[in-house]
Structure 1
Amino acid sequence: MHGAELSTTMSDALVILGATGIVIPLFARFRVTPIIGFILIGLLVGPFGLGRLVGEAPWLYYVSISQPEALEPFAEFGIILLLFTIGLELSFNRLWQLRKLVFGLGALEVLVSGGLLATALWAMGQYWTGALALGLALAFSSTALVLPISGTTTPVGRAALSMLLFEDIMIVPIIFLLGALGPAVGEEGMGEIVGVLWQGALVVAVMMVAGRYLLPHLFAQAARTKSPELFLAASLLVVIGASLATALVGLSPIVGALVAGLLIAETEYHSEVEGIIEPFKGLALGVFLMTVGMSIDLAVVWAQLPAIVLAVVAVLSLKAVVTGVLLRLMGARRATATETGILMASPSETTLIILAAAGSALLIDRETAQFWQIVTAVGLTVTPLLAALGKLVARQVEPAPVLDPVDVAEDEPRAIIVGLGRVGRLVAQMLRVHGKPYVAIDFDPDIVERARREGYNAIYGNAMRDDALGGLGIEQAPAVILTMDEHVLAGRLTRKLRALRPDLPIIARARDSGHAAELYRSGATTAVPETLESSLQLSEAALVDLGVAMGPVIASIHEKRDEFRAEIREGGAIAHTPKLRTGRVEG
């Protein structure tokens, strides 16, 4: 690398790290979301900001980005890591449960929004192929911005995730379709699409089969070395390898990243991988947001301000209405449909990719592409504001169920149950039978309303929020029982609760012994693995039916349960089939 290139690289790195380490905490201090902070910093230090003045003040070279295109690979890597961590939070079972939303709601959102936008642009004089390209491009929403805001476990997050997953799947077919519509392309477009689809399906199938056998061994070897560097290297190897595999056959690399995350989520190492990847994901996503800000030329925006404002408002309004109506038709609550529709209204980083493909295929001219690129950048910038607006409007449309004032005013300490599904309801029933006061919290308003009608002391809220925990009386609570079936969320909440109250008894539901070990490491007082409990109950029923007296059976079951818990705390997880004194227990 030549000296000039090295100087440029180091200068750009200094600006990025300076923005991350100094400017973004400043935004956080004033309660401005880092998303807007990164975009504004990109606008400030980019070629249309301070970079424009380098000729007049050469010293600005060291506090501006001189080659924003050099940052694009890092920006793409940030999106890849985002999809990878989303995969870590999901599971194949949960993804299968979302299939109707992904291919139903997701497909309808893209087709209806894209069709209406294309029709409007065609009516305004755009040729039909260009109108179709622009309509499809603007129909996409931002994975990189929406999911960090909404999460994946709330009703809004689940709806957004299903639509965004379909959009991610459709990126490559849409780009090939635009290429086939281009005047310079022959009739090979459909053949290429079919080829990419079957090759991509084959690669994904191979990854799923091989990953189930290879990944546990890979991470087990990395874990035995007790080297964080090697564990990080193994994680990045899997992410980059999977992304390259899907990219080589023509699919988007984010498809490979998502599959890799799903595969690792099925192993006992998913929590460690998520923790070690998180800082890199945050920094790389920050670079992506800065590139969005760098693409905004304020001089062009000012020159075309009325048209840009009109275009942004029109696109946001149409997409918000379409998404909200579709969600209502599919049975979503008014509040969920309203908040999701407004949040998903802005364009996407993928919009920029599709606009570039449409320009390359000569479907739209350069000026049109530049105009809609600015509209997209502005739309991305206001996404956090849309999220806040969506919450505000949703509360007006349908007020969320809240705890009655008389309930939160009670001075008597009560146990807190987090999650009101099947397990949470049973825990609440048993506490009520034994006269122990409790309050249950759930983030699904439908579950809360049904529970309150059935007599449960339940409230709507997000247990990860400090104000929600304070309203529940966390300072006086004798115990917290975590019953949710979200292993990542359970770990995060356990760590948060332990930090708030070191003396708090935390009883947590675990998926298996490996998950229980993670919860113990996070600070749980007791973690109850479902698989082991079902084995103990089965053993108890079998022994009683075989004629063993109930007293000795209960005593031996309690003894074996204590033994299991000790093994999990000391050894991390029960790796082998446990032994009873009278023989082996299979499974």
Structure 2
Amino acid sequence: MADPASHVSFLPPILTFCGAAVVAVPLFRLLGLSAVLGYLAAGVVIGPSGLGLVGEPETIATVAELGVVLLLFIIGLELKLSHLWSMKRDIFGLGLAQVVITALCLGSCAFLIGFAPNASIVTGMALALSSTAIGLQMLNERNDLQAAYGQRSFAVLLFQDLSVVPILFILPVLASGAAALESGSMVDRLTNLGTAIAAIAAVVLIGRYGLNPFFRVLARSGAREVMTASALLVVLGAALLLQEVGLSMAMGAFLAGLLLAESNFRHQLEADIEPFRGILLGLFFMSVGMSIDLSLLRQQWLVLAIAAPAVIISKSLIIIVVSRIFGANGRDALRSGALLSPAGEFAFVLLPVALGLGLLEPAEAQLVTALAAITMLLGPITATLLEKLLRRTFVAVPETNAIVGEQSELSSRVLVIGFGRFGQIVNQVLLTQGIHPTVIDNDVERIRDAGRFGLQVYYGDGTRLDVLRAAGAEKAEMICVCTDHPDVTVKIVEIIHENFANARSFVRAYDRIRAIELLNMDVDFQVREAFESSLAFGRAALEELGIDAETAAETANDVRKRDTARLILQKAGDTMGGAELVAGAKIAPEPLVTPAAKARGLTAETRDILGEGAF
């Protein structure tokens, strides 16, 4: 029989990672530095070269790479094909120029210090690529992904991810030299290229025509965990497919996200993926820290002490110059240069491949790998210090030079939760005045109904904080809670008041007792779902019975005032005698005017109910 202790053997490394993260990240954030630095430093401390609490960082890195995959999926969800097309000049112009010029410069430097020609080319290409994970994480922390420099930086990172495919194609050609031109070898490479194109086409077709119906079927089941599983299935499935044909997993995930960017389910998918992304991305940064060999650092300290700052400075200068050529202002060019200065995670992919092909000597591969890891440690420090300097030097002004393209979906002034019969009328009123709200609902049929309104409508559970954040609650001026179920309404209001205090809360109350409960929660406005319609109904009845329209309107208004006054008194608790504290308690309806006569039951059964004696 297995030792029971063996079943918990996986816990020590997990506890080590968690402990390192909860100590290092808050400490670095307290110092005003990026969380990325905290993860990297934690990895150095717990890795084989530090305290040795975790061994085999290569194994950890394999799992942690999924964090980069999920990050690219979420970035894809936040874009649209039309917006991506508007960025084509920056992607294929700025991105191409940066990669080519940086690779030539760094490769030339490697050749000058004694690397062989092929080794110099590999070194230049590996170090020319920047860290997608670090760059996008820092942009997210600053909330600058939609800023002009953020968009240009993302365009460069996207081109770099695309360039991994031709670089992996070039490496065997460099290794085999003239033999690569032989027909058989060239046929194999063309076959691989055709397979890669076919895989991309398959992902596009399935994403375009299959995913939305797939998610609609799952949404009808009402099982939230199934939606989470399906989100992971889509992301990891696309990533695995493209990896199998020689492309990067991150590119597969980004493509899947891009195809779902206009889906009604995108906010729910983003909310489901976000926790996995955060944890695995932090693990990835720690794995990079663990890969830094401190013994090699001690042996080659002089070379690395010169080379690491040289790589960061040269990459920054190249990016600054190229960004200025492509229209960026000086401040944005500096920010992009610092952000993209470190080497990237793909260096850890390209260098082992080059070593296996004989393009690099083992000592050269170890040195360049250590150099890439050190730049990933120093790069965020440089970017953070530069950002602080720029903020002190320049007066903060709103971004006016953002790249023209798709308006951010999170710019809606109003977020409406619930698109039932009540929410539909609310949206009709808002749309009449040109206000286009964002709507959240978890009913597939209502999502379809809302599609006819031209609204930004997304499938999601409004009681989940992550869904509300993904839908833009932090930027909304007003959040209208129009849900059917009173308990759900109260839960959403609690979340709004705890997390989105800047947004005004307009809430649909189910009945009088729920209205009083909402008033005690200090909502900005509440209305009972049937109150105003009942007043309008009564006013129309008076007019039909011969009361003039003005008197009928005054009567309805008088009833509204009396009811509001009584509601305020009941809110204070004076008329309920503590009944509001009892589960299921109800407020007995009371007349707003003194009855002219005593009630009379017209049947024996009615008189029994009213407690009347026999006539």
Match of 2:20 in 1: 19
8 Å CA contact retained: 1:184, 1:361: no
Kindly provide the amino acid, as one letter, of the partner of residue 271 in structure 1.
H
Match of 1:168 in 2: 161
Distance 1:120 1:213 in 2: 49
1:94 pairs, out of 71, 76, 83, with 83
Q: CA deviation at 1:170?
A: 1.3
Match of 2:408 in 1: 486
Query: Does 1:254 find its partner at 2:250?
Result: yes
Range 129-138 or range 41-50, more displaced: 41-50
Match of 2:294 in 1: 298
Match of 1:327 in 2: 323
Match of 1:159 in 2: 152
1:160-239 matches, cutoff 5 A? 160-183=153-176, 186-187=179-180, 190-239=186-235
8 Å CA contact retained: 1:16, 1:287: yes
Distance 1:525 1:134, change over 3 A: closer
Distance 1:447 1:265 in 2: 19
Distance 1:261 1:69 in 2: 27
8 Å CA contact retained: 1:75, 1:285: yes
1:369-408 matches, cutoff 5 A? 369-392=365-388, 394=390, 399=394, 402=397
Distance 1:142 1:494 in 2: 38
Distance 1:21 1:66 in 2: 20
Match of 2:399 in 1: 443
Q: CA deviation at 1:488?
A: 4.6
8 Å CA contact retained: 1:243, 1:257: yes
8 Å CA contact retained: 1:271, 1:488: no
Distance 1:353 1:494, change over 3 A: farther
Q: CA deviation at 1:173?
A: 1.8
Match of 1:84 in 2: 73
Match of 1:515 in 2: 456
Query: Does 1:135 find its partner at 2:124?
Result: yes
Distance 1:202 1:444, change over 3 A: farther
Match of 1:465 in 2: none
Match of 2:111 in 1: 122
Kindly provide the amino acid, as one letter, of the partner of residue 48 in structure 1.
S
Distance 1:118 1:514, change over 3 A: same
Q: CA deviation at 1:232?
A: 0.5
Q: CA deviation at 1:115?
A: 0.7
1:527-566 matches, cutoff 5 A? none
CA offsets 1:396-455 (integer angstroms, 9 cap, x no match): 89x4564xxxxxxxxxxxxxxxxxxxxxxxxxxxxxxxxxxxxxxx4234799xxxxxxx
Q: CA deviation at 1:485?
A: 1.5
Q: CA deviation at 1:195?
A: 2.9
8 Å CA contact retained: 1:78, 1:282: yes
Q: CA deviation at 1:199?
A: 2.1
Match of 2:137 in 1: 148
Match of 2:49 in 1: 48
Match of 1:424 in 2: none
Q: CA deviation at 1:183?
A: 4.9
Distance 1:351 1:292 in 2: 11
CA offsets 1:559-582 (integer angstroms, 9 cap, x no match): xxxxxxxxxxx9xxxxxxxxxxxx
Distance 1:492 1:315 in 2: 47
Q: CA deviation at 1:30?
A: 4.5
1:30-49 matches, cutoff 5 A? 30-49=31-50
Q: CA deviation at 1:196?
A: 3.1
Q: What are the ranges of 5 or more consecutive residues in structure 2 without an aligned counterpart?
A: 418-429, 440-450, 463-467, 481-528, 530-615
Distance 2:396 2:112 in 1: 44
SS in 1 for 2:407: coil
Distance 2:260 2:414 in 1: 18
SS in 1 for 2:456: helix
CA offsets 1:256-280 (integer angstroms, 9 cap, x no match): 1011101121101111111111110
Query: Does 1:336 find its partner at 2:332?
Result: yes
Q: What are the ranges of 5 or more consecutive residues in structure 1 without an aligned counterpart?
A: 52-63, 403-441, 449-482, 496-504, 529-569, 571-587
TM value normalised by structure 1 = 0.67
SS in 2 for 1:310: helix
8 Å CA contact retained: 2:122, 2:351: yes
Kindly provide the amino acid, as one letter, of the partner of residue 409 in structure 2.
H
Q: CA deviation at 1:197?
A: 3.0
Distance 1:86 1:2 in 2: 44
Distance 2:62 2:84 in 1: 29
8 Å CA contact retained: 2:43, 2:285: yes
Match of 1:65 in 2: 54
Match of 1:352 in 2: 348
SS in 1 for 2:210: helix
Distance 1:154 1:446, change over 3 A: closer
Kindly provide the amino acid, as one letter, of the partner of residue 217 in structure 1.
P
Query: Does 1:310 find its partner at 2:306?
Result: yes
Distance 2:152 2:9 in 1: 43
Q: CA deviation at 1:491?
A: 9.2
Distance 1:373 1:444 in 2: 40
1:548-587 matches, cutoff 5 A? none
Q: CA deviation at 1:135?
A: 0.4
CA RMSD of aligned residues (A): 3.4
SS in 2 for 1:90: coil
Distance 2:359 2:134 in 1: 28
Kindly provide the amino acid, as one letter, of the partner of residue 11 in structure 2.
M
Q: CA deviation at 1:489?
A: 6.4
SS in 1 for 2:353: helix
Distance 1:134 1:266, change over 3 A: same
Distance 1:291 1:447 in 2: 35
Q: CA deviation at 1:22?
A: 5.1
Match of 1:287 in 2: 283
Distance 2:292 2:458 in 1: 48
8 Å CA contact retained: 2:416, 2:437: no
Distance 2:2 2:179 in 1: 43
Range 176-185 or range 75-84, more displaced: 176-185
Distance 1:446 1:86, change over 3 A: closer
Distance 2:297 2:44 in 1: 12
